[in-house]
Structure 1
Amino acid sequence: MNPAVLWLPQGTVYGALLNFRREFDLWAPKMSDAPYKAPPKAPVLYIKTANTFAPSGAAVAVPGEVEVGATLGLVIGDDLSQGQLSVALLNDLSLPHASYYRPPLRFRNRDGFLVCGPATRPISEVGDLAALALEVRINDVLVQRVEISTLVRSARTLLADVNEFMTLQPGDVLTLGTDCLEDGARPRARAGDRIEITAPGFAPLNHTLIAEEA
């Protein structure tokens, strides 16, 4: 890959909800409530539409505070049976909202709300994904560590479970989900802030936030 060309998804991006143990456990007491009345048996997914894609280094316009969602994306290759799978750093931004069962598009799918790391890495070069920890810094201050070992469904399990009911195409991306802090919230940022997401072996994902025009 030409390092001067920043990576962006070439297919559909699907995000997974409730795929980190801390958040799943916080929500577990409510999972027996209506309308579902039971924990989810299959992965709960949402879509990040193409208007959300932004390259590393972008200035993303926001209307106020946003939640920072550091995650990894599995990038589908031409032949999964031959291990053609890559991994990318992502920042899955969202406006703060209360419910994760049916996240409205207007919260997650604003322009530029999926900031992508500058390049992907073949999964064969990454090694054990579960050993990775993502670090999130806002204005150079460490605000979160995302431990991939705490996934409810590991990367391979999530991919297999999704493939049971839908076929991912080459270029599609399946994100592993975003983690919360101990209190159930996510790190928040606002216009003027600088965000950096790092993981061992990956080029850093950096971007800024700017105020939306009135």
Structure 2
Amino acid sequence: MKHARVRYEGVVHAATATTTAEGEALRLSDGRVIAAEAVEAWLPPVEPRTIFALGLNYADHAKELAFKPPETPLVFLKGPNTITGHQSRTRRPAGVAFMHYECELAVVIGQTARDVPRARAYEVVAGYSVANDYAIRDYLENYYRPNLRVKNRDGCTPLGPWLVDAADVPNPMDLRLRTLVNGVETQSGGTRDMIFDVPHLIAYLSSIMTLSPGDVILTGTPDGLADVKPGDVVTTEIEGVGSLVSHIVG
């Protein structure tokens, strides 16, 4: 099942995806069915607690940036202020030279978890979503230590539109992902190319700290990054999970 959070008639509703004779629709938690076009705003499908982000988790992306692939996961934390929803606006700061998208599979934790063995890692996953973790490349100290100006700006990480139940994604490690800028494909890859797969990441993170429901793991992006500017419409897609649209503004 696909879950969403939307604002409709000034009220925030939990919703699930459905279809009508007219096309894609949403069933609100109060039972009403509305057209997707009637939504006033798409909110992130979950209200994140701790957000873990992976750096250089695709070998081709590490090569693109002239870095050696890491031997252990490179993880940094993001604040909840960074998360925004489908069809939202992300600001490109004035004067920066390079701002790029990052299409990423987002893993949402569904239960409290500590020291989870790799073989049982999927048991603690609630579901999956699509993330676009924008970065301001100008301010990188280096790719191993992304600082606040790079990855923790307000609204710099669209998430959604759906949270897809884990049971409906039988193999999260074999999904195609891609990015389109103004309708032109600029990035293409597959989750099978992750250096550290989802079970490894859950086992690793839960060996360091307790994971809680609502925690989100952003699993990294493949190569194919491009500069985006105000006016661009960026679509990040993951097979079986969703298509997330974001708008760049000045």
Q: Provide, for residues 66-95 of structure 1, a one-character-per-residue CA deviation record: whole Å limited to 9, x for no partner.
A: 110100111010256644431110000010
The equivalent position to 1:169 in structure 2, one of 193, 212, 224, is 212
> Please, which of 94, 98, 108 is the counterpart of residue 75 of structure 1?
108
**Does the CA contact (< 8 Å) of 1:134 and 1:145 recur in 2?**
yes
Match of 1:106 in 2: 149
Give the secondary structure class of the aligned counterpart of 1:14.
Answer: strand
Partners of 1:16 and 1:45 within 8 A in 2: yes
Q: Aligned residue pairs: how many? A: 197
Worse overlay, 122-131 or 105-114: 122-131
Counterparts of 1:182-197 in structure 2 under 5 Å? 186-197=225-236
Distance in 2, matches of 1:69 and 1:153, equals: 17
2:198 aligned partner:
155
Equivalent residue in structure 2 for 1:14, among 52, 77, 92? 52
Higher mean alpha-carbon deviation, 49-58 vs 197-206, is at 197-206
How far is 1:172 from its partner? 0.5
Q: Distance in 2 between matches of 1:79 and 1:47?
A: 18
Which residue, 8, 17, 27 being the options, matches 2:67?
Answer: 27
Structure 1 residue 196: Cα displacement: 0.6
What amino acid does structure 1 have at the position aligned with 2:58? F
Question: Which residues of 2 match residues 33-52 of structure 1 at below 5 A?
Answer: 41-52=71-82
TM-score, length of structure 2 as denominator length: 0.73
Deviation at 1:202, TM superposition (A): 2.3
Q: Which amino acid aligns with 2:99?
A: V
1:41 Cα offset (Å): 4.6
- Determine if the alignment matches structure 1 residue 87 to structure 2 residue 128: yes
Q: Which runs of 5+ in 2 are unaligned?
A: 4-14, 17-25, 27-41, 114-119
Q: Secondary structure at the match of 1:164?
A: helix
Asked if 2 retains the 8 angstrom alpha-carbon contact of 1:8 and 1:54, the reply is no
Q: Which residue of 2 aligns with 1:208?
A: 247
CA contact (8 A) 1:8 1:55 kept: no
- Cα deviation code 1:181-202 (max 9, x no counterpart): 3xxxx22211110011112222
Q: Which runs of 5+ in 1 are unaligned?
A: 29-38
Question: Match of 1:92, as an amino acid?
Answer: D
- Higher relative CO (Cα under 8 Å, sequence separation at least 6) belongs to 1
**Offset of residue 203 of structure 1:** 2.8
CA contact (8 A) 1:132 1:199 kept: yes
Q: Distance in 2 between matches of 1:143 and 1:129?
A: 22
| Percent identity over paired residues | 25
Question: What per-residue deviation string (whole Å, max 9, x for no partner) do you get for residues 120-169 of structure 1?
Answer: 11222111122111110000000001211111111111111121112211
* TM-score, normalisation: structure 1: 0.84
2-structure distance, mates of 1:104, 1:176: 18
| Matched residue, 1:56 | 86
Distance 1:124 1:117 in 2: 18
Aligned CA RMSD, in angstroms, stands at 2.0
Q: 1-side partners of 2:134 and 2:70: how far apart?
A: 24
In the alignment, the residues of structure 2 paired with residue 24 and residue 159 of structure 1 have an alpha-carbon distance, to the nearest angstrom, of 21
User: Is the Cα–Cα contact under 8 Å of residues 235 and 246 in structure 2 kept in the other structure?
Assistant: yes
